[in-house]
């Protein structure tokens, strides 16, 4: 039920209020008026940022899910921007640094997740001493999500 709360309780067409064919979690179709609604995983853009000294720049999440745990900057892609632009914008918002995007590290998606995470490598010309980790210092036991760990391992494999 947590996979799609918008459809969990839906029984009727939001346009004409007739009983609808609900196929949880993916769709609602109205046989009366033809209204159709399809639900899809949302793309989330993120960046594994390395600073001028080569350290990985992480941040502690301030809210659930994963409150207090480490991850890299990222967030939902807005209509009107590309996935790459979203990664740059989210990093500026969350780390207050400008980055240059590098290679695509990977796309992380599972059937029981509501998002599809797209992770890029990135660099900044600053030195982030506060939240910078060398490869040996990465906090593997305190990462926020399964995808955080996989993407960091893939980032390490590619450098
Ligand atoms: Zn309808």
Distance 64 CA to ligand 1 centre (A): 36
Predicted confidence at residue 15, as pLDDT, reads 97
Report pTM: 0.89
Averaged pLDDT for residues 124-145? 92
Distance 34 CA to ligand 1 centre (A): 6
Are the C-beta atoms of 56 and 49 separated by less than 8 Å?
yes
Tell how strand 115-123 and strand 42-50 pair up: parallel
Distance 27 CA to ligand 1 centre (A): 13
Tell me how many degrees the CA angle 72-78-81 measures, rounded to the nearest 5.
95
Q: Tell me: the pLDDT tens digits for 35-65?
A: 999 999 999 999 999 999 999 999 999 999 8
Distance 15 CA to ligand 1 centre (A): 5
Are the C-beta atoms of 10 and 30 separated by less than 8 Å?
no
Are the C-beta atoms of 146 and 65 separated by less than 8 Å?
no
CA pseudo-torsion sign 8, 13, 19, 24? negative
Distance 31 CA to ligand 1 centre (A): 7
Instruction: Count CA atoms within 13 Å of residue 146 on its CB side.
Output: 8
């Amino acid at each position: 039920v947590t996979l799609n709360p918008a459809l969990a309780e839906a029984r009727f067409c939001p346009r004409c209020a007739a009983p609808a064919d609900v196929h949880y979690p993916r769709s609602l179709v109205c046989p009366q008026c033809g209204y159709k609604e399809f639900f899809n995983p949302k793309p989330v853009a993120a960046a594994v940022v390395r600073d001028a000294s080569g350290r990985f720049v992480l941040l502690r999440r301030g809210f659930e899910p994963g409150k207090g745990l480490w991850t890299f900057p990222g967030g939902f892609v807005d209509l009107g921007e590309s996935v790459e632009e979203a990664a740059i914008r989210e990093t500026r918002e969350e780390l207050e640094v400008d980055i240059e995007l590098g290679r695509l590290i990977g796309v992380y998606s599972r059937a029981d997740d509501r998002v599809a995470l797209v992770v890029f490598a990135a660099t900044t010309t600053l030195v982030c001493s506060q939240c910078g980790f060398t490869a040996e210092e990465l906090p593997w036991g305190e990462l926020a999500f399964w995808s955080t760990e996989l993407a960091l391992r893939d980032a390490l494999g590619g450098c």
